[in-house]
Structure 1
Amino acid sequence: MRRRLTLLVAATTSLVVVAFLVPLALLVRMVAVDRAVGVATLEVESLSSLVTTADRSSLALTLESAGANGGPPITVFFPDGSTVGASARRSAAVDLAAQGNSVTARVPGGREILVAVQGTPGGTAVVRTYVPDSELGRGVRRAWLILGLLGVVLLGLGLLVADRLARSLVRSTRDLAAVSHQLAAGRLDARAGPGGTPELGEVGAALNHLAGRIEELLAQERETAADLSHRLRTPLTALRLELESLHDPEEAARAEASVESLERAVSQIIADTRRPARTEAGRCDAAEVVADRVRFWAVLAEDQDRQLTAPAAGGPPLPVSLSSDDLATCVDALLGNVFAHTPEGTGFAVGLEPRPGGGARLTVSDDGPGFATSDPLERGVSGAGSSGLGLDIVRRTAESSGGSLSVGGSASGGALVTLDLAGAQAG
């Protein structure tokens, strides 16, 4: 924008300078020519009276004296063909002036000025002088040089003013862009400062109003989500009380563990929705989190007679750029889909391996019928009667920390989900 404004002003100023200086330069040239011709004509006319009154010897002495004093060369052509003064050939212009017409003719190297003098014996005499081009253009180059320097100065001033103006506009525009980038990064307290043109000031005020409105709406959404999540605690408490009445201790322990896990998830939802957006990812050991969640789901897999293949416990740590709670949520969502969308007795496998560039790769495959839709990652779309949000939640969680999620088919024809997790930053 700054360059375009400068080029626009440069082009406009150049056109104005050219339109102003070119006619002025031509006028200077014309004035210089008219001045030289006028001086020579006046000199010739002042000697015209001597042609008719003085004898030729006196006239010759006068012309010789005028030439010795730096005057122009003057020649007098008489009707009988004789001449007095400086040597010059009789041109066609002299013959034209001898007919009684005073003329100015262009000749190689300059101009000759011819004045007809009536009253001489035998006809009309002609007084001639010659003005060279150097005399016609005296002072013109200097004047043109001054005009050129004036044009350069005017162009420089125009570019300087345009650059200052463009700089102020670009600075204000960049400030607005910086504020918008800060808002996009989650810094909702960023505001545009005053400055710039009135139009940019209005844009900044509108951006500040939009940022304030977004902050208000997000606060309302967080409170609403927290309130809805908090309402789940009442039925959870009632469910916990009901579990205390179970007579089988092992069954009660498993059910109570499930309720505690659900209660932790609700508490985490409340905490997440009531805090601002996170600006940096967490950190955890993927091997530890995956092993813990596999142990939790292994009990249910045993009850449903599902064969579970999982990595051996106690493997090397795999640090990833994701918090333990978020990773546990992703693992629960993937394993929960296996139990929800495959019949009992269907086996499944959980794999975890390090990625070549750092991080970890988690795979969940099953021996079921596979995905019910062509695009299982589309949010809110499910071919099995569920909400269709599980895989989308896992995908968004992975992408927010620099990872990715992909789906496909397993070797047995079932579903295969691959979760790539970015490596945790050192420190």
Structure 2
Amino acid sequence: MRRRLIQSTLAVVLVVIAVFGVSLVIVETRTITESARERVESEAVRLASIVDSRLLVEEKVTAAVLRDQVTEDRYVVVRLPGRAPIEIGDRPEGDAISASASGEEGETVTVQEPRSSVTREVGRTLLIIGLVALLAVIAAVLLAVRQANRLASPLTDLAETAERLGSGDPRPRHRRYGVPELDRVADVLDSSAERIGRMLTAERRLAADASHQLRTPLTALSMRLEEITLTDDPETVKEEATIALAQVERLTDVVQRLLTNSRDPRTGSAVTFELDEVIQQQLAEWRPAYRSAGRAIVTSGKRHLRAVGTPGAVAQVLAALIENSLMHGGGTVALRTRVTGNQAVIEVTDEGPGVPADLGARIFERAISGHNSTGIGLAVARDLAEADGGRLEMLQARPAVFGLFLSRTPPRKSQDDGRQTVR
């Protein structure tokens, strides 16, 4: 492309020089010739007037008298009536420019100038035009090289950017080139890079969330299936199978919730539900794990509370808090329910050392963990709570107390767009 730009620019300049240069040479040649002819005619008239003035005062007209009045390289012939012609200068060889003028006393003055002098002047003019044309060609080449580099280099850079995007590097370069069309392409590539980056981030986040959120239900389901394989009592098998089926349903809900939340974290299906049912389900699911660890999990507080949210999401939030207490806390874990204003609150606390001071302000950030865990459980829990219009907060650091706040007002239709909102 760089070579094509240089060649095209040079071709345009050469065509322009050829068209205007030839025209200029023709015009200048004619102008120089006409100017030489005018000079010769003017000199003939001037010499005729000089001869007239000397004849009027009866002075002699000789070659010596007129020689100082004749321009160098000119040949002059003065013809007087009844006298021999007076010649001044050398007769030009070959073609010459000639002009004659007659005086009032009957004399005739003829002036000739060699055409070689005109040719020399035309040659000098052609040389000047040629030098100007050469300078124009050099300037055109330099300008073409500069423009080619200005256009080709950004295109090469944009091609490298597109190749990086195709290879999975979505970092925008934010580089501009001062050419509106190329800057527009750079804007589109940067926007595409940002969108691809967000998509990759969302996919990685979904994979991490799925790995974390599915681990606990799968572990609990494995424990139930182990119980079934270790017993021969039909009633126990039936009971464990029923619990396992319920856990499969919750697992399905977890997957659906993760997919929905990855597309739009605000897309919740909030309904009014009984908090006691969700809490009892979590107690039943986590008691075996706590018994294995030699710890207890209990519930207390106000009963028969109804809240607004997605039961599956609330269960996942509580599961994240209970698991966090199991991994990082100590002693008995308590789930307490209470009411504050128009909100139902579920507090999860334990008897452990609490949250370290350096993690307190960042406990809900992703990849923040105090004991080599994934560091995404609390972050996912907060996202789930906010998706249902609630909030998850750390109420106390030592011992750790987390509170899940849910609205108690039933959902109703918005008058503006008919979508379900929680107010």
TM-score band w.r.t. shorter chain: 0.3 to 0.5
- TM-score, normalised to structure 2, is 0.43
- TM-score, normalised to structure 1, is 0.42
